[in-house]
Structure 1
Amino acid sequence: MTDIRHRYRKLVYLTWFLTLDLIMFGAFVRLTDSGLGCPDWPGCYGKLTPLGAGAHIEQAYQAMPYGPVSWGKAWIEMIHRYVGAALGMLIIAIVWMAWRHRHALGHSARLALFTLLAVCVQGAFGAWTVTHKLMPLIVTTHLLGGMSVLALMTWLAARENPGPPVLLSTRRWRPWLIGAFLLLTIQIGLGGWVSTNYAALACMDFPQCHGQWIPDMDLHGGFSLFRALGELPSGEMISQAALTAIHWVHRNMAFLVFLILGSVAWKLRADPVLRRPATGVLLLLLAQLVTGLTTIFFQWPLLIAVLHNGGAAGLVLCCVTLLVRLSRKSTVPQGIQYDKHRHPGSRLAPAPISGTD
């Protein structure tokens, strides 16, 4: 049983790591405008690799040198698809192991199956991203789907590292963390909406926007969901006022997330079991602030923009880890700590803070 658990844990950790990498690479695909590097799906002009589609790629590039198709963009897009396919195969392997050894692995089977369902839906949105020509609603949903798969994989990985329970007094912060996590999810969706509509540079000053605290905006046009890339629902080109609305809402929502999630994370640091992921949340919030401002002042450098997406993924990772640890049924009353030297192992027995045996 121990060998099965060990192999399953290694597979889960590998898949979790690949999921995080794929999200980062997906941001690179989007930010380099490579989403239509191969304008069909699942192949590239019907071929397995861009090498077999060389004539089509060259023809498209000659017709539009600054368009969506080039050799570099084709390879970037196809590598993203290859890694996504590998991720799907690994999750299938996790489901197979979890169901075959479900009595040894506990309740991981249902969670693994749900993760597989999520990655299948994510694959469908990946295909629709191409077939619907980077429609902002589909691309943003694809981004949120990737974060959802990361959250599920983090949940699976966190359950493979049980550790000691949290203090009983800490559990009261669980509803607050759930609320903060929901706000973070909304903010990530808004960030995807900014990216897919290319609104990152709609406001070039800070903290004001166009020299005003509340600039002229077209909220209806900016947040109309069912429209093509770069267009309003009427078919007209999207206006600067609409792009300003997208950017302004995302920017100001960030302050709310920073305040609430940061406050909850600061409170959770008091529990030794939660200190590392809670500190991770605080550091990542600061990093998101720095990379977000750098994106504005340095006009959206590629590396910083990718790191900003990675920071959002890191926040999801830390928040899910905190939620899993807060959801453990076993709790320890305030005033009790664990002695790792006297009680080695993942499930540690409590020892008084002071006093004798």
Structure 2
Amino acid sequence: MMKQKVIQRFANLSAIGMFLILAMGALVTKADAGRGCGDEWPLCHGKFVPAHTISSFIEYSHRLVVGVVTLILIATFYLVFRYVKRADAKWFITGTIVMTLIQAVMGAMAVIWPQSSVVLALHFGLSLLAFAFSLLLALIFTPYGDYDGAGVVRGGFKALVWITAVYTYIVVYLGAFVRHTSSSGGCSGWPLCNGEVIPELSGATGIVFMHRIAALLLFFCILTLYIQAKKRYDATDKMVLGSKWALIFVLLQIISGAVVTWSMTNETAYLFTGMIHAMIIACLFGFLSYLCVLTLYYRKQT
């Protein structure tokens, strides 16, 4: 029992740590602090503790948190493989570590060798996957991770869940691409873009408008998912609860996206709302990932 509690605490710390890394990574991008430590890694301007400029502090703090969380992940990895018999727990901690390592390597490469916005946008996507894996691991040690007596799932509903999750990842990538191309100012105002329903689709305006349309379609996908879950399962079923929270978070994501646009004239508010937007996206993707896992445990029904 004592070992179980220790493992659960480390799993929770891993999920919290990955969530913090994701939020701080979004802050680094929003504050344009990715070059805050120059072209050096792991040192920052040749020092372990750099000068306290804002950009170097933000970038170095992000690196420090990644280092601490990595140690927590290593300890969690050992505990899971040593004491936990569930195969899914081993898959989830392995996925977390693999995504974190790839993310760290890409981050170091981005500092030493500047990369395109297309590649840099993948950095946030990897952080999202790492957080999703860590969240799924933490849920194993809660009632939500108990899949005994799971219900049935039809092929059509299972496909809807997975398609929605994959499409969400694409929308997230588009959002990260908006940030890394500094295109956020392409659409002033919300819900209209530069005062138009359909603006001129070129440059930064086209990139932002494409992201907005993709986010709107995502809302309808998740709304459909929730409606279908309610039709097929009892109100207390994990499928319904997960779908409901996904719907709540996609609504919050749209609202926070509007707030980000409205706050662009205030630098501090813009940074803060941008972080909130990224954290909401992480929660949304986390719930959709949980639904994907549920479809693997529910019995298939034709």
Q: Which TM bucket (shorter chain)?
A: 0.7 to 0.9
Give the structure 2 partner of residue 94 of structure 1: 76
Quick one: distance in 2 between partners of 1:147 and 1:97? Answer: 23
Give the structure 1 partner of residue 284 of structure 2: 315
Distance change in 2, residues 1:322/1:259 (3 Å): same
Instruction: Name which of structure 1's ranges 243-252 and 167-176 shifts more when overlaid on structure 2.
Output: 167-176
Quick one: distance in 1 between partners of 2:32 and 2:87? Answer: 43
Quick one: distance in 1 between partners of 2:101 and 2:263? Answer: 37
SS in 2 for 1:201: helix
Give the structure 2 partner of residue 120 of structure 1: 101
Give the structure 1 partner of residue 295 of structure 2: 326
Quick one: distance in 1 between partners of 2:103 and 2:3? Answer: 29
Instruction: Name which of structure 1's ranges 261-270 and 300-309 shifts more when overlaid on structure 2.
Output: 261-270
SS in 2 for 1:74: helix
1:153-200 CA-partner distances (Å, limit 9, x unpaired) = 122223333335443257752210100011100000000000111111
Give the structure 2 partner of residue 306 of structure 1: 275
Distance change in 2, residues 1:169/1:144 (3 Å): closer
Q: 1:196 aligns with which of 180, 199, 205?
A: 180
Shift of 1:139: 2.1
**One-letter amino acid matched to 1:247:** V
Whether 1:78 and 2:30 are equivalent positions in the alignment is: no
Quick one: distance in 2 between partners of 1:266 and 1:299? Answer: 35
Quick one: distance in 1 between partners of 2:8 and 2:156? Answer: 30
TM-score (norm 1): 0.74
Whether 1:273 and 2:257 are equivalent positions in the alignment is: no
Give the structure 2 partner of residue 163 of structure 1: 146
Q: What percent identity do the matched residue pairs reach?
A: 20
- Which 4+ runs in 1 deviate beyond 4 A? 169-172
SS in 1 for 2:32: coil
**One-letter amino acid matched to 1:79:** S
Cα contact 1:181–1:261 (8 A) shared by 2: no
Shift of 1:265: 2.6
Segments of structure 1 that go 5 or more residues without pairing to the other structure are 55-69, 218-240, 334-357
Please say which structure displays the higher CA radius of gyration.
Answer: 1
1:239-279 CA-partner distances (Å, limit 9, x unpaired) = xx311121111011111111012220343354413243322
Distance change in 2, residues 1:72/1:134 (3 Å): farther
SS in 2 for 1:295: helix
SS in 2 for 1:248: helix
Give the structure 2 partner of residue 174 of structure 1: 158
Give the structure 2 partner of residue 140 of structure 1: 121
Between the two structures, name the one with larger relative contact order (CA 8 Å, sep ≥ 6). 2
Shift of 1:202: 0.4
Give the structure 2 partner of residue 284 of structure 1: 249
Count of aligned positions: 289
Q: 1:252 aligns with which of 202, 213, 235?
A: 213
TM-score (norm 2): 0.87
Give the structure 1 partner of residue 47 of structure 2: 47
Give the structure 1 partner of residue 199 of structure 2: 215
Segments of structure 2 that go 5 or more residues without pairing to the other structure are none
Quick one: distance in 2 between partners of 1:42 and 1:118? Answer: 19
**Aligned residues: CA RMSD:** 2.3
Q: How does 1:216-235 map to 2 (within 5 A)?
A: 216-217=200-201
Shift of 1:23: 0.8
Cα contact 1:194–1:247 (8 A) shared by 2: yes
Q: 1:109 aligns with which of 90, 93, 114?
A: 90
Shift of 1:290: 1.1
